[in-house]
Amino acid sequence: MELKEKLLSSFMAFEERIDVHAELHDVRTAALKNFENKGFPTKKEEAWKYTSLNAVLKNDFTVFPKQENTVQYADVKKYFLHEIDTYKVVFIDGVFSSHLSATTHEGIDVCLLSSALNKPKYKEIVDTYFNQIVNKEESLTSLNTAFANEGAYINIPRNKVADKPIEIMYFSTGNEAALLVQPRNLIVVGENAQVQIIERHQSLNENPVLTNSVTEIFAQKRAFVDVYKIQNDSLSANLVDNTYVSQKEESSVAVNTFSFGGNLTRNNLNFYHFGERIVSYLNGITIIGEKQHVDHYTLVHHATPNCESHQDYKGIFTDRSTGVFNGKIFVEKEAQKTNAFQKSNNILLSDKATINAKPQLEIFADDVKCSHGCTIGQLDETAMFYMQQRGIPKKEAKALLMYAFSNAVIESIKIPELKQRITKIIANKLGVKMGFDL
C-alpha cells in the first residue's frame, strides 16, 4: 500500500487510541483533509523543485511502532550535551522515555505535548497556541497536525529565565524495518522570558527513518529564544523539519541549524513578525558528502516596521552531495525601516557536488534595507599555500580553512560546551585532529 493510503486509512485507528477532545478532533480532521487533497509534495511544486521525496517514500514505513523500545543511557550518552546539566525531553521511536528524560514543572514547564493536549489545566494555552502559526496549506505540516500527539511542550512564563538549556531528543532504534515518526513541539516563551533549546533527531542503526517534525515557537514581548538544531544522523535517516516562529515586539529569536548528516534533510524555517523592533536570526552550517542532500528553505515575513532579520548560511559540499538554499524575504507595505539581510556562502570541494542557491525578495515597503548575497566557490588557493608554507599539510590546511569559513556561524553559538561539541563534529567531518580544539 502506498504510504499516503496507509496514513489515511490509519487515521481513525489513531484517533481511537488517544484521548481527544472535540476541538482537537476538528483540527486534525481538517489537516488530514488538506493532506489528502495535496498529498506528498513533488518536484512539480516550485518549493520542492530541488528536493525529491520519491525515493524515500518508497520505503514500507511503519506508521506506529508496534512495541515500546528502550535504550540504555550509556549507549546514547554521547548524543547529549552531557558536559553540563540540562533539562531533557527524550523520545524513543516517537514514544516518551521517562528514564532518559529530565522534565520539570517548577517555575517553567518542560514536559510532554501529549499531556498538555489532554490535561484541562493546559487547555487555555493549547487553545491559544497549538496549530496557530503553522501554514495550514502546507501538506507535510498538515500531515503532522493530523497525527500530532507527542513531542516536547515547553512553557517559560513571563519574566522567567530557564536555568539550564533544554534538550529535545528523538531516537529511533531501528527495531522497525522502516519507521515514520511525526514529532510535534510546542514552545511558548512569555514576556521577558528566556530559553535555550537544543533539538536533535538520531537514529541508532541503519534502518530507514522518515521524520516529519513540526515545531511552533511563540516568543512574546522582549522574549529571548535560542534554538540549536543538530542534524548529524546516519545515512538512512531522512528529516523534514517544519519550524514556525511567531515573534512579538522587541523579541529576539535565533534558530541555528547544523546539518552534517542524514540522507535527505529539508528544513522549512518560517518567521512571522507581530510587533516592532523584532530581531530574527537564521544561521546554518552545512557540511555534507557522499550522496547526502540538505535543503534549507527559509521565509522571513516582515509585517511590522523597524524589525531586523539576519540570515547567514555556510555550506561545504563534497563527493556527490547536493545542497539547496532558498531564502524568501517578504516585506509588507507597513513594514517600513526593515533591515533584512541574507547571506549564503558555499564551497564545492568536488566536481560532482552541487548547490542551488536562490534568494527571493518581495518588497512592498519603500524605506527598507535589504540585501542578499550568494557565493559559490572553491577553497582559496592562496590561503592553502600560506598554511602549507608554514608546514601545515594539505588536509589539515583544508580543515582549518573550512573552519575559518564557517567561523562566523560557530561564533553565534552561545553555549560554550555546545560550541566545543560542534567544532569537534566539524573536525571529525573533515577527518582531522588538530593540535587544539577545532
Question: Which chain residues interact with other proteins by CB under 8 A?
Answer: 380-383, 385-394, 396-397, 400-401, 403-404, 407-408, 410-411, 434-436
Instruction: Indicate the residue among 43 and 394 with the shorter CB distance to other proteins.
Output: 394
Instruction: Indicate the residue among 98 and 382 with the shorter CB distance to other proteins.
Output: 382
CB of 412 to other proteins, least distance (A): 12
CA distance 124 to 375: 47
CB of 429 to other proteins, least distance (A): 16
CB of 435 to other proteins, least distance (A): 5
Instruction: Indicate the residue among 303 and 384 with the shorter CB distance to other proteins.
Output: 384
**Residue 123: is it exposed, middle or buried by C-beta count within 10 angstroms (0-12/13-18/19+)?**
middle
CA distance 253 to 347: 27
CB of 208 to other proteins, least distance (A): 36
The three grid cell numbers given for residue 291, joined into one nine-digit string: 550522496
In what helix (H) or strand (E) does residue 16 lie, and over which residues does it extend? helix 3-17
The three grid cell numbers given for residue 123, joined into one nine-digit string: 487547555
CB of 190 to other proteins, least distance (A): 35
Spatial contact of 398 and 381, defined as CB atoms under 8 Å apart = no
CB of 286 to other proteins, least distance (A): 17
Residue 271 β-bridge partners? 245, 300
Taking the alpha carbons at both ends of the chain, their separation in whole angstroms is 48
CA distance 339 to 337: 6
Instruction: Indicate the residue among 128 and 428 with the shorter CB distance to other proteins.
Output: 428
Instruction: Indicate the residue among 364 and 386 with the shorter CB distance to other proteins.
Output: 386
Instruction: Indicate the residue among 374 and 434 with the shorter CB distance to other proteins.
Output: 434
CA distance 292 to 350: 13
CB count within 10 Å of CB 66 equals: 9
